[in-house]
Amino acid sequence: MHSSEKEYLKHYNIHDYEVPLVSVDVAIFTLLDGKLHVLMVERGEFPQKGRWSLPGGFINQKQDKDLHATALRKLVEKTGVKAPHLEQVITVGNPNRDPRGWSVTSLYMALIPYAPTAEFIDAVVDARWWPVDAALKQTLAFDHADLIAQARERLRAKAGYTALPMYVLNAPFTLTQLQQTYEELLGTQLEKKSFRRKFPVDELLEEVGEGLPESGRGRIAALYRPKKGGDRYTFLRSFGAGEEA
Amino acid sequence: MHSSEKEYLKHYNIHDYEVPLVSVDVAIFTLLDGKLHVLMVERGEFPQKGRWSLPGGFINQKQDKDLHATALRKLVEKTGVKAPHLEQVITVGNPNRDPRGWSVTSLYMALIPYAPTAEFIDAVVDARWWPVDAALKQTLAFDHADLIAQARERLRAKAGYTALPMYVLNAPFTLTQLQQTYEELLGTQLEKKSFRRKFPVDELLEEVGEGLPESGRGRIAALYRPKKGGDRYTFLRSFGAGEEA
DNA sequence: ATTATTATTGGACAAATGCCACTTAATTGG
DNA sequence: CCAATTAAGTGGCATTTGTCCAATAATAAT
C-alpha cells in the first residue's frame, strides 16, 4: 500500500473514516447545607435544548494539551476556580446516547468547596447547584442521569478509603463537620471516637486555630484545612460496609 | 439557527468538525511461570509498522453495541475466549501520542488464565505473551509502554483489596498458588496464616477436590476455582502497603 | 521406617475497632 | 454569678483482627 510511514501519513485523512463524536463531561460536586450537590447547566442549543445537563463539551484541539486539560477547562469555565480534586471516572460510548450518532464521552468528577464558587456562579454563569437526589429525579439531557449516578457511586466508594470528602468542605472546618460529610457520602452513621482514631489528621490536615460549632453553643472546636497532596492518600482499612464495589 | 431538534439533526454532519481519532486498547494479563505476562501484537501496518503494541483498534459502528463491546471484541479476536474479568482502566488523549493527530484511546485491562488461550494464540494469531518487565524495556508503538504501566499499576492496586488475582490462574489452583500470585502482583511477601485468614475462601472460591503441589512432594492441597461474580468483591482491609494510590 | 517437603492449623501476643461514659469549654437563661 | 445545655474531645475496656512462629498432617523419596 504505502512505502513508508511518511508516505502513509501524507495520505491519511480522518474524515475518510466513520468516527464517533467525542466529548468530556464533568460532574462537579460540593456540599451545601449538609447535602451533596452537583452543578448543572440548562442547555441553550440543540440537541436536547432546554434540558439540564452536566457541564461538558468538545476537545479544543488548539487549546487543550490533553483530555484532562479539556475537563479542567470546562471546570474553570463554570466555577471560576480549579477544584482541588479532578479525576476521570469512566468513559462511555454507544450509538444511542446522543441523537447525532455514535458518541463517546469521558466523564470526570471534580470536588470543590461551595464558598469560592458561589459568587462566580451567581454572577457569571448559567449554572445551578442541584441536590444530587433532586437532579436524578429530573429528565436530564442525554444519559446524564446515568453519568451522575456513576460519579456519585465513585465518590461513595472512595469515601470509604480516601480523604476525598474533605475537598467538598469550605475550609477551615471541624472534625465533626468532616465526619458528617463522610456520613452523608457513605450513607451510614460513624462512631465519633473510631472516626477520629482512624482519620490520619496529622498526615492530611493542618490546624488553623479554633472556632465555635455551627450552633454557636458548646465547646470550641479545632479548625483544620487540607494539606497539599492529600488526594493521593488511601487508608489501609476502609470505613463502613465492604463488598460489592 | 435551527427551529427544531429535528431540523438541527438534519443538517448535522460530524465531518464539519475537527474530531480526534478514537481507539480502544486492551492490556491482557496472565500468569505464566509465576510471572505476570501481557499479550502483545507486532504491528503489520503503518503507522509504527513493526513495533510491538497492545491489541487494539477502532470502534466498529455496525458491530459494537458500546465501547465495552469493542474491547471485548478485541479480546476475543486475540485470545479466542472471553476473559473472566474485563474493566476499563483509563482514557487518555493528546495530540502527540499518534502521528495521525489528536487521538483518544480507552485502555481496558483483561485478566485471563494462560491455559485456555495457549493453543489459540499459537495456532491462529500473530500475538505473543511477553513478561511485563521485558515488554516495558522494548521500544513499543505509540505510548503503549505508558498504557501497560498504568494497567499494571491498576492491577497492583486492586490486588490489595480485591480477589482479582485469582483470574490470572489456571483453575483449579491451591491456596499457596493464589498467595504466590498475590505476592507477584503486589511485589511483597505475605504471611501464610494472615493470607488464609483474610482471603474470604468461603465467599469467593469453590472447592473442587485435592491434588499434589507442583513439585509432586508434600501434603496434598485442597483445590479451588473462582465462584461466579467474585470480581465485584472488595475487602474491608487491604493487603500490604497503604498510602499513595 | 526415616527424612524431606508442602499444606494446614494452633496459640500467644499485638494492634485496631466498637462502644459508651466521662471530662472540658463554651453559651443560654435565670 | 450559677445551673442547665450543648458540643468537642478523651479514657477505658471488651471484642475483633492481624502477625508471628511453631506444631501437626499428609505425601514422596530414600
How much is the pLDDT for A1?
A: 66
Bases of chain C below 7 A from a protein C-beta are: 4-11, 16-21, 24-28
CA of A105 to C1' of D23 (A): 59
- Which segments within B33-117 are labelled E, that is strand? 35-42, 52-53, 56-58, 85-94, 103-111
Flag whether residue A244 sits within 8 Å of chain B, measured between CB atoms.
yes
| Interstrand relation of A205-211 and A127-131 (parallel, antiparallel or unpaired) | unpaired
How much is the pLDDT for A77?
A: 96
How much is the pLDDT for A162?
A: 94
Residue by residue, what is the 3-state secondary structure of A133-150?
HHHHHCCCCCCHHHHHHH
- Percent of chain B's residues with pLDDT above 90: 82
How much is the pLDDT for B217?
A: 87
Flag whether residue B47 sits within 8 Å of chain A, measured between CB atoms.
yes
Flag whether residue A234 sits within 8 Å of chain B, measured between CB atoms.
yes
How many CB atoms lie under 10 A from the CB of residue A213? 13
Task: Find out whether B84 and B103 touch, Cβ atoms under 8 Å.
Answer: no
Q: What digits encode the pLDDT tens for the residues A194-214?
A: 999 999 999 999 999 998 877
Could you tell me the pLDDT band of residue B182, with boundaries at 50, 70 and 90? very high
Across the interface, whether the CB atoms of A104 and B102 are under 8 A apart is answered: no
d(Cα B33, Cα B173) in Å, to the nearest integer?
Answer: 14
- pLDDT higher than 70, residue A26: yes
Q: What digits encode the pLDDT tens for the residues A155-184?
A: 999 999 999 999 999 999 999 999 999 999
* Type of residue found at B25: D
- pLDDT higher than 80, residue A61: yes
Residue in A closest to B158 by C-alpha:
A245
**Among all strands, which nt has the closest C1' to A213 (CA)?**
D7
Task: Find out whether A155 and A149 touch, Cβ atoms under 8 Å.
Answer: no
C-alpha cell belonging to residue A30: 460540593
- pLDDT higher than 70, residue B45: yes
Residue listed under C-alpha cell 447547566: A41
Task: Residue A72: name the closest of A150, A62, A61, A83 by CA.
Answer: A83
d(Cα A144, Cα A26) in Å, to the nearest integer?
Answer: 10
CA distances from B49 to A6, A92, B23, B45, B104 (A): 12, 29, 17, 5, 20
CA of A93 to C1' of D28 (A): 57
d(Cα A195, Cα A188) in Å, to the nearest integer?
Answer: 12
Would the pTM count as exceeding 0.75?
yes
d(Cα B186, Cα B157) in Å, to the nearest integer?
Answer: 8
How much is the pLDDT for B242?
A: 36
